[in-house]
Amino acid sequence: MKSSKLYKGSLTTIILKLLSEYDKMYGYEITQKVKAITAGELQITEGALYPSLHKLEAEGFLEVEFVKVSNRTRKYYKLTEQGAKEADDKLEALKSYMETMKAFLYPKFGLE
């Protein structure tokens, strides 16, 4: 993506969406999944991801699970019940925003 400013406001929604689809994920896995889904257009840095994950955890939207993998401990993030509701709310808000922007960008089609 040419400007990362557009996606920064959507980072929380991206994280919640992925976790609603994949149950639990660890940080690096999230960055790689975003990169793969967007064919490299979005690349989330650790400096952006982990503060968002910690904030979501502090707000009660995520719970963590530590799993020993080989000789390392991996921290997995999973939605709480409250987090699943937040994911639904954020996705609905994003869909509405996208419809509004589509009407703005392509006024002849209007809102459906």
Q: From first to last of its 112 residues, what are the pLDDT tens digits of the chain?
A: 445 566 667 899 999 999 999 989 999 999 999 999 999 888 899 999 999 999 999 999 999 999 998 999 999 999 999 999 999 999 999 899 888 988 888 887 555 5
Residue 62 within a domain: yes
Which residue blocks in the chain are alpha helix, DSSP H?
Answer: 5-8, 11-22, 27-37, 46-58, 81-105
pTM of the complete model:
0.83
pLDDT tens-digit readout, 76-93 = 999 999 999 999 999 999
Residue 1 within a domain: no
Residue 75 within a domain: yes
Residue 100 structure tokens = 């509004």
CATH number at residue 98: 1.10.10.10
Displacement of CA 18 from its chain's centroid (Å): 6
Decide if 17 contacts 91 (C-beta within 8 A): yes
Domain containing 20: what range? Answer: 11-105
